[in-house]
Structure 1
């Protein structure tokens, strides 16, 4: 499945609210918040010249989010940031005045946080981020997980003291249940997907993701000509594409959204020209991207700044995991989880098809960015699929 963006809004300016959410000032605010995190460090940018040569492009960079804030996923930037923002806003409301990040651990702010419960649904990584943020500020967390979330991922969230709630069905079922229970109990819903009447908090989550784009632009001498980013509900793709469109303006790269073929809600939304819910079929190995209904805010942004949409098979994702663990030439090894390498899988599929390659303008001078959105967040599953334990690959990276 490959589609170019034919939406009437393609290349139109972002809506003012989205431009504010994903703009330069907002990204600077996120980075300021990160300076107050004990384990904050910029994630590495990996250059893969051997693979670039194999693919017939000029340069290939991988922003490696497997090192983000001790959670092994880009999601660490979004959920915890939104939690912190929401606590400071509630503290400002209850205490009067503007309470800023410097007072986050003040006793009076902690007292406000203690009365708050942050709730969300998750495939694994977003829930860890929300739970970590809640623990950091002294709030409670209630995390809803669907039947397909592995016990290992549930345990990883539970380590932050969150209440874990199992829900029958899919991720989308858990989103609805989390919203229902949170509304009933007066909890704060910190979702990474949006729906009618619920947009601001998912916008804050997306805003958190802009930090990695800021880092990347500092780490390269020339901006990319092409960017391939995986979707899920669309949040990360929209955040990256939206911020790049603001930061680089007319020099923005060609942006390609990558979906799992078994959960291609963004591709099908692009085909329909409006948000659609797709049928639940066989689960995809790309568990963090297994979503069947797009975020309304994400689609509003992507309809304007995404240039094309492509779907990849499970076999493509597994092949990328193995290829990054056993690199060519002097390329560095990279630990990519089941969903982490989906953007690269999209690039590989695109360059292999002459028509897609031509449609995207991929050639020997192209500078391509992909994002490894997660490391081995389920080490057992990673080892099953790659045949090497993640720590063994990690040891090769350290050499």
Structure 2
């Protein structure tokens, strides 16, 4: 399903939004992250897929490959660490802790009794656990019933304490808040609620690194036209989309690209928000193979950025995401194979869905001259699930990728 957002506009980025998230703060976050040994200094690849573009009937498709975001294999590696650093700096302003020293564990003795907690579908919790381990504080992660054991093991490997609950993601958020209140721990969540906006803002600001890297990779400078006519962004609570959309809106103003958010039909909180004109909840079961997007409640803070900037909201079925995973793994024509997890392939699934329908193609302005940006938000963060869905292992796809690079 597709809904046009009547509240979207094309105006210069407002000063009120810039006071919350800005290119300047995104660049600061990016500089801080360069000191974290868990991440490589190099930008993740921006991959051109000319064969896929020809097959789908558009001029260009690029995919930003966050599966290469070091060992964490997900864009979430950019959000939770920045939020944790800024939280520590706010709590101990007199110490004047620097990000570089925190990431190197130089203040671990001071922070050994400090505990952070979060609910997660996997990637956010893994990133928070890894950052907490590096910094030297304690970390508790609440997992709901649908989070795989593979994802649990990956989080626990960073020393986090795991708490399992029987409910879904939204129930795990509630449990994390309860445990934090009972134990005087600090929630580091990527979704906002009344009275809780600083940390989600910092998480979203970290995601601006992705947009900054893309503009550099396409050699787009201030005042230049957008390199893309259309940008497809995954949904979830809205944090990733808000972080990237805010950056592109500040960069391009009224000449920003058309932006489309894609989410599972059973976890359609952003789609419902577009219909209601306010942050709303999903209408479905929330359970989805796209685990990272299986969220039932829109982040109100993220919605402040999405409402004026996202042109279309759409939902897809689980099998469409799986088809897109397979399409990226086998590669079209001369394209390089790409490892994309269930949520990572959602943008391509949304694009393919629109292009199959002449009315939807026309409505969204997609055509032979369109240039498309996709974000592969994760790799095979659950390897067994990936093998089952794609029919081959992530290692097989990466081996094919290496062979392609040797020939290129």
Q: Relative to structure 1, is the Cα distance of residues 190 and 184 closer, same or farther in structure 2, using a 3 angstrom cutoff?
A: same
What SS does the corresponding residue of 1:142 show, helix, strand or coil? strand
How far apart, CA to CA, are the structure 2 residues paired with 1:313 and 1:180?
33
Aligned pair partner of 2:130 in 123, 126, 132 = 132
CA deviations over 1:298-348 (Å, ceiling 9, x no partner) = 111110110111111111100001011101111010000111100111111
How far apart, CA to CA, are the structure 1 residues paired with 2:218 and 2:105?
42
Question: Which residue does 1:100 correspond to in 2?
Answer: 98
Q: What is the 5 A alignment of 1:332-343?
A: 332-343=336-347
Question: Which residue does 2:24 correspond to in 1?
Answer: 25
**Higher deviation after alignment, 221-230 or 159-168:** 221-230
Question: Which residue does 2:173 correspond to in 1?
Answer: 175
Q: Relative to structure 1, is the Cα distance of residues 205 and 106 closer, same or farther in structure 2, using a 3 angstrom cutoff?
A: closer
Question: Which residue does 1:54 correspond to in 2?
Answer: 55
CA deviations over 1:13-60 (Å, ceiling 9, x no partner) = 666453234311111101110221223231011100011111111100
Q: What is the 5 A alignment of 1:353-392?
A: 353-392=357-396
Question: Which residue does 1:34 correspond to in 2?
Answer: 33
Question: In the alignment, does 2:226 pair up with 1:227?
Answer: no
How far apart, CA to CA, are the structure 2 residues paired with 1:22 and 1:367?
26
Q: What is the 5 A alignment of 1:127-276?
A: 127-221=125-219, 223-276=227-280
Residue 159 of structure 1: CA displacement? 0.3
Question: Which residue does 2:294 correspond to in 1?
Answer: 290
How far apart, CA to CA, are the structure 1 residues paired with 2:283 and 2:110?
42
Q: Check conservation: 1:13, 1:304, Cα contact below 8 A.
A: no
Q: Check conservation: 1:90, 1:112, Cα contact below 8 A.
A: no
How far apart, CA to CA, are the structure 2 residues paired with 1:311 and 1:13?
29
Q: Relative to structure 1, is the Cα distance of residues 105 and 307 closer, same or farther in structure 2, using a 3 angstrom cutoff?
A: closer
Residue 88 of structure 1: CA displacement? 3.0
How far apart, CA to CA, are the structure 2 residues paired with 1:120 and 1:368?
34
How far apart, CA to CA, are the structure 1 residues paired with 2:338 and 2:229?
23
Residue 112 of structure 1: CA displacement? 2.8
Q: Relative to structure 1, is the Cα distance of residues 224 and 282 closer, same or farther in structure 2, using a 3 angstrom cutoff?
A: closer
What SS does the corresponding residue of 1:371 show, helix, strand or coil? strand
Output the TM-score relative to the length of structure 2.
0.93
- Kindly report the root-mean-square deviation, in angstroms, between the aligned alpha carbons of the 2 structures: 1.7
Residue 221 of structure 1: CA displacement? 4.4
How far apart, CA to CA, are the structure 1 residues paired with 2:284 and 2:258?
30
Which runs of 5 or more residues in structure 1 are unaligned?
Answer: none
How far apart, CA to CA, are the structure 2 residues paired with 1:69 and 1:328?
26
Q: Check conservation: 2:266, 2:282, Cα contact below 8 A.
A: no
Question: Which residue does 1:277 correspond to in 2?
Answer: 281
Question: In the alignment, does 2:69 pair up with 1:65?
Answer: no
What SS does the corresponding residue of 1:263 show, helix, strand or coil? coil
Q: What is the 5 A alignment of 1:80-119?
A: 80-93=81-94, 95=95, 98-104=96-102, 109-119=107-117
**Higher deviation after alignment, 351-360 or 46-55:** 351-360
Q: What is the 5 A alignment of 1:313-324?
A: 313-324=317-328
Q: Check conservation: 2:113, 2:137, Cα contact below 8 A.
A: yes
What SS does the corresponding residue of 2:282 show, helix, strand or coil? coil
Q: Relative to structure 1, is the Cα distance of residues 105 and 57 closer, same or farther in structure 2, using a 3 angstrom cutoff?
A: closer
Residue 398 of structure 1: CA displacement? 1.4
Q: Check conservation: 2:10, 2:256, Cα contact below 8 A.
A: no
Residue 276 of structure 1: CA displacement? 1.9
Residue 105 of structure 1: CA displacement? 6.0
**Higher deviation after alignment, 386-395 or 106-115:** 106-115
Q: Check conservation: 2:103, 2:131, Cα contact below 8 A.
A: no
How far apart, CA to CA, are the structure 1 residues paired with 2:387 and 2:247?
35
Q: Check conservation: 2:268, 2:283, Cα contact below 8 A.
A: no
Residue 249 of structure 1: CA displacement? 1.6
How far apart, CA to CA, are the structure 1 residues paired with 2:251 and 2:214?
12
